[in-house]
Structure 1
Amino acid sequence: MQPPTTPVTTTPVLIVGGGPVGLTLSILLSAQGVDHLLVEARTDTSPHPKARGISARSMEIFRRCGLEAAIRELALPASQVSFYRGRNLVDPDFVRTGVAADRSGADPVDGPEHTPSPGLVCSQDLLEPLLLRRARELSADRIRLGVRLLSFEQAADQGAGPGVRAVLRDRDGGEPYPVTADWLIGCDGAASTVRTGAGLAMAGPTDLRHFLSIRFDAPLGAVVADRASTSYFLTPPGLGGFLAIDNDRRWIYQYPFDPGRPGPHEDLTDHRRLADLVRSMAGLPELDVTIRSTMTWRMDAQLATAYRRGRVLLAGDAAHVTPPTGGHGMNTGIGDADNLAWKLAAVTAGRGTPALLDSFQAERRPLARQVIELSSENAQARAGGYRMDDELLLTAVYRSGAVIAEEGFEDRGQQTQGAAARPPLEPTGYRPSGAPGHRLPHARLGGPAGVGSTLDLVGPGFVLLTARDDPAWRQQADAAAAGGHPVTVHALDGGPLREAVPGTVGELCDLPAAGAVLVRPDGHIGWRAARPSRPGELLDVLRRILGS
C-alpha cells in the first residue's frame, strides 16, 4: 500500500525507476542524508523473478545497508548453488556442476576469504519488496509508486540552482504536475524514458535471442531432491531450462523461441498449452502445473554512449543491457548506485563540484563494457547457460579523477605502470590490493559489535585506515575537518579495533608501519600514503578527489 504523501515540488535528486537499482540508490542516498524523490510507474514491485544472482560485491553493499541477514533468509541454500544438465528433470544420467557440486556443498565462505558476504541466489520478486520496505523506512513519503514521468527539460544554465524541470502524473488520475530537481537519475530500465529524453543513445547488438519466461507453481521439490540446483539446463541445447525460485513449488521455465516461427509465445493467455509445455520439458506428463505469469524478453548487449548529459545521469539497465549469462546485469546496476550515491551526496552538500559526477561515467562505463563482453562470450560458449561469478565483480579497479594515482609506490604483485591501459576487471581472479582504485581488501576484525570486517568501517563518509595510531594522521584528519571535509580515522594497532590476524591489513594493502589508505564511501581506495608528509596533505587530497 502506498503510504500517505505530501506534495513535492522541489528535490535535490529525482530518481525515476523503482527496481533494484533505483531502490538501492534511494537507500544509499538516505544513508548519506540526501533528500530525494523516487517515482515508479508500477503500482507494486515486480511479480516476476527476473534476476536471481546477487554477487559478493552487491552483498557487501547490502551489508552496509543493514540488509544482508534479511536477504540471506530469502535465498536458496548455498548447497543448492550448482548447475544441472539433463534431458529433463528426471534424467537418470544428469550431470551436476558448479559451486555446490565441486565443493561438496561447502559454503563459499569456507574458501579463500576475500569477502565477509558471499554471493547468493535470491530472486528479484523477493528482493524488491525487501528493498522497498527499507527505502520507505528511511524516507517514507519520498518513495512514490504509481507515478509516471511524462517529460522533462534541463535549464539552459547548468551551473547553480535546479537543473531539471520534470512533469509527473499519478497513474490513478489527476492533472500532471511539475517537480524541479538539481539532478535527475534514470534507473528506469532498458526502455528508459530518461535516456530518450536526454538524447542519449545505446550502441550494441539487439535480438541476440528471444525467450518466453513462464512463472509457475508445481510440486517438484521431491522430484529434484537428489539433484537440487540453481538452474536446470536441458539437453540438447536449444530447449532452455528451469530456474529454481525455492526448489520446491515456485519455478521459472525459460523457453527459447524464434519470433519468425509459430510457437507457444504467440498466445500467452493459453495457459493450458503453456502448462503442457512445462510438463513435456520436465519429463513429467502428469505434473500438476499452475501458470502464475508469463513474459517474453530478448537478449541484447548494449551500452549507452554516455552516462551523463548535463544534470541527467543513467544507472542500471538504462545505461547498460547485459546478457544474463553470468548474472551480472543487476549486480552491475547495484554497483552503479553505490558509486553514484556518495558523489551525489558530496555535490548536493557543496563539498564536491559537479565535475565529480564525471568520474561516475569514467569508472562505471568501462566496467559495464567489459561485463557485456564477458557475458556475451559466456552466452555463446554456454548456449544460453547461466553462471554467477562472485569473484569477478570483486576485481573492479577504478581510474578517474576521483582516484589519486601513485608514483613510485611499491605494490607487491600489482604493477601500477601502464594501469590506464588495463581493463577494470581481471577475469582470472581477485587479487587484494591497497592501490588506489581498488576495493578495500577484506580482513577479519574484532572489536565493537557489528564490526567484523574492514569493510564494516566503510562509509558513510571518507575513512582513513592507519596501520598504527599515529598523532600525525590524526592532525591531518583534524585539518581536513576544519577545511570542510571530515574524515573518520581508524587505527588497526590493537586499540578499539583489532585485526583477527595482526598485520593482515598492512600486508594486503602493502602498507608500512606509518602508512594509511583513504577509503571512499563506496569502499574503493582513493589514495594511499607511506607516511604523512606535509601539513594539509590529506585536505588537498580530498579536494582533488571531490573536484573542489
Structure 2
Amino acid sequence: MRFPETTPVLVVGGGPVGLTLSVLLSGHGVPHLLVEAHPSTSRHPKARGVSARSMEIFRKCGLEEEVRAAGLPASQVFFYRGRDLVDPDFVRTGVASGAAEGPERTPSPGLICSQDALEAVLLRRARQLAPEGALFDTRLISLTPQDGHVRAVLEDRATGERHTVRADWLVGCDGASSTVREASGIAMAGPTGLGHFLSIRFEAPLGEVVADRASASYFLTAPGRGGFLAVDNDRRWIYQYPYNPEHADTAALLADHQALARLVREAAGLPELAVTVQDTMTWRMDARLAETYRRARVLLAGDAAHVVPPTGGHGMNVGIGDADNLAWKLAAATAGTAGEALLDSYEAERRPVARQVIDISLANSRARDGYRIDDELLLTAAYRSTAVLADPNAPNAPERSPLDPDGDHPEAAPGTRLPHLRLGDRAGAASTLDLVGPGFTLFTTTGAEAWRRQAATATAAGLPVTVRTVPLPGLPEATGVPSTGAVLVRPDGHIAWRAPQPDAGDGQLIAALRRVLSAGPAAQDAGHYPSADSAQRLA
C-alpha cells in the first residue's frame, strides 16, 4: 500500500457515506485518502432504501443508471403484511417511488438497492476517479488535532505497518461505533437498545412463492416473527428475527445454522423449504445524535453523527446527504476561497435534518402503525445557516423544521433545493438539476448582460460562477424571482441567494458569494474554487 505523508482530506470509513464523499470530493477536484478497516465492502445487504434525493446525488456523480440496475425493479417496491409468506389474506401496500400523482418532483425516483450492491458500485467509481485514494484493510489507530491540521496514525492490517498522515481535515464516516467520534471526545445522546435483531442472510427458492405478492419488505404480523427483506425476490433473502440477547439459548442459536434454517422455514410458513444460511449479523436499534458534528479540523458524517432507527428507512440517505453537503464546503475550504466558518454551516444545516428523521423514525417504532418516511420528504430539506442568504425584504419567517411533511416551505426560498423542471431537448441535461455545479451556478431566464458581467467579476476575483440561461416560461414562477432576476445555486443544488434584478454596479454577486462562503476580500487572492470548465466532471 502507498500512504501519502499529507492529504487535504482524510476520510475514515468506506461504507456508503464515506464512498459517496470520496466520489464527490474527486468531482470537486479535492485530493484525499479514504481508509476502511474491513478488507472489502459489505457482504451483508444492511440498508436498502435509496431516496429520490440520494438518487439525485448519484445522478450528479454519473451513477444513477448503474445504481438503478443494481436495485429491485420499481414494480416490486411494495410492502407486504401477512402471518407468513403464504398467507392467503395478505395485504400489500405502497407504490414505486416517484409514481405518485401530481407534479413531477424529481428526475431520479428512489428505489431499493441493497447496501452490498451499492457499495460495490460506489467503490468502482471512487477508484476510477482516484485510483490510489481508497485503502481497505487499513484502520485508524489514533488522531491528534494540531494547529491547522490533524495527525492520524494508520495501520495496514495485512502487514501491521503503521504510517502517519497529516490531513488538513479528517471526516469520520466510520459508523455508529465511530473511532473518530470517540477519539474526538464527542458524546452521543439518545435511547439505545430499543430492539435487538438477528439478520440471517440465506438462499432459498422463494421466487415462485412470492410471484403474486413480490415486495421489497415482508412484515410478518404473527407476534415475534419479524420479517423478510428481498435482496432479489428470487433466491437471495434476509430474515430479520427479533431476539433477546440475554436469553440463555441465544449464543447457541447464533452458531447453529440448522436452527437458523428452521427459524426461516417457520417464519415463511414453508416447513419443507430448502434453506442455505450464508451468514448472520446482529444489530441493536438505537436513536442517537452526536452533540456536535465538528471539533476543530475533525468532522462527523453518517452513522458516526446520527444513528437512525430503521423504522423510517432513511438512515443511510441522511448520511449520503451529509456527504453532499460537506464535499463542496471542504473543496472551498481547501482551495482557500472559504473561511473556516463555512464548515460550521455543515452542522447547522445537517444536524436538524438528522434530529427530525430520528424523531419521526422513533415515533414509528413506538406506534407500530407506520414504517417508512415518505420518500419525497427529503426533497423538501430547507437549510438555515450562514451559507444561505435570506431575501432582504422578506418578512421574518417562522421557525420551521428543515423537513416539511405538509409542504409549507416556500418554493425555491433560499436554503431549499432548486426545483426540478424538465428541459426538453437540451443536450446532456434533462432537468434543471443537471445544470448545477460543480461550482456555483447562476440561473437566469433571459441571460441579461448585467448578470454575466457580475459573474465575470466574481470569476476574476477567484470565485468562479457558471451562468445558466434557462428560457423556460415556468422558471420565474418556480424560483420566485421575476424574469429580470437571478438565482445563485450552491454545488449541492440548494439555493444560496436570489435577487429580483441586478444592481447598477458589478459587486452584488461577489458580495453574496463572500457572505455564503464566510470569506472576506482576501478570497480574491486565494486559489480558485472549481468552475464547470476547470473542475473534473463527476459524470
Indicate the TM-score class for this superposition, using the shorter chain for normalisation.
Answer: over 0.9
2:179 aligned to which of 193, 199, 216 = 193
Structure 2: which amino acid aligns with 1:417? N
Residue 546 of structure 1 corresponds to 517
Distance 1:181 1:19, change over 3 A: same
Alignment of 1:101-250 (within 5 A): 108=99, 112-155=103-146, 157-158=147-148, 163-250=149-236
Residue 530 of structure 1 corresponds to 500
Residue 393 of structure 1 corresponds to 378
Alignment of 1:34-49 (within 5 A): 34-49=30-45
Structure 2: which amino acid aligns with 1:153? T
Residue 328 of structure 1 corresponds to 314
Alignment of 1:486-525 (within 5 A): 486-493=464-471, 502-525=472-495
CA distance in 2, matches of 1:247, 1:107: 21
Residue 272 of structure 1 corresponds to 258
Residue 471 of structure 1 corresponds to 449
Q: What is the Cα deviation at residue 174 of structure 1? A: 3.3
Q: Residues 22-68 of structure 1: CA distance to partner in whole angstroms, max 9, x if unpaired?
A: 00000000000000000000010000010000000000000000000
Residue 26 of structure 2 corresponds to 30
More off after superposition, 431-440 vs 355-364: 431-440
Asked whether 1:60 is paired with 2:45, we answer no
1:422 aligned to which of 400, 403, 407 = 400
Q: Give structure 1 stretches of 5+ with no counterpart.
A: 101-105, 410-415, 494-501
Alignment of 1:339-350 (within 5 A): 339-350=325-336
More off after superposition, 357-366 vs 443-452: 443-452
- Conservation of the 8 A alpha-carbon contact between 1:208 and 1:299: yes
Asked whether 1:365 is paired with 2:351, we answer yes
2:437 aligned to which of 449, 459, 470 = 459
More off after superposition, 235-244 vs 390-399: 235-244
CA distance in 2, matches of 1:432, 1:89: 44
Give the secondary-structure state (helix, strand or coil) at the position aligned to 2:131. helix
Structure 1: which amino acid aligns with 2:41? T
C-alpha RMSD over aligned residues: 1.5
Report how many aligned residue pairs link the two structures. Answer: 518
Q: What is the Cα deviation at residue 111 of structure 1? A: 5.0
CA distance in 1, matches of 2:495, 2:229: 37
- Conservation of the 8 A alpha-carbon contact between 1:436 and 1:525: yes
Structure 2: which amino acid aligns with 1:531? Q
Residue 391 of structure 2 corresponds to 406
Residue 87 of structure 2 corresponds to 91
CA distance in 2, matches of 1:334, 1:344: 15
CA distance in 1, matches of 2:273, 2:408: 44
Structure 2: which amino acid aligns with 1:485? L
Structure 2: which amino acid aligns with 1:478? A
Residue 268 of structure 2 corresponds to 282
CA distance in 1, matches of 2:404, 2:470: 29
Residue 531 of structure 2 corresponds to none
CA distance in 1, matches of 2:290, 2:252: 31
Distance 1:513 1:358, change over 3 A: same
CA distance in 2, matches of 1:546, 1:57: 24
- Conservation of the 8 A alpha-carbon contact between 2:361 and 2:373: no
CA distance in 2, matches of 1:107, 1:311: 39
- After the TM superposition, list the runs of 4 or more consecutive aligned residues in structure 1 that deviate by more than 4 angstroms: 263-266, 429-432
Compute the TM-score of the two structures, normalised by the length of structure 1: 0.92
Compute the TM-score of the two structures, normalised by the length of structure 2: 0.94
Give the secondary-structure state (helix, strand or coil) at the position aligned to 1:254. strand
Q: Give structure 2 stretches of 5+ with no counterpart.
A: 520-539
- Conservation of the 8 A alpha-carbon contact between 1:55 and 1:389: no
- Conservation of the 8 A alpha-carbon contact between 2:352 and 2:402: yes
CA distance in 2, matches of 1:447, 1:346: 33
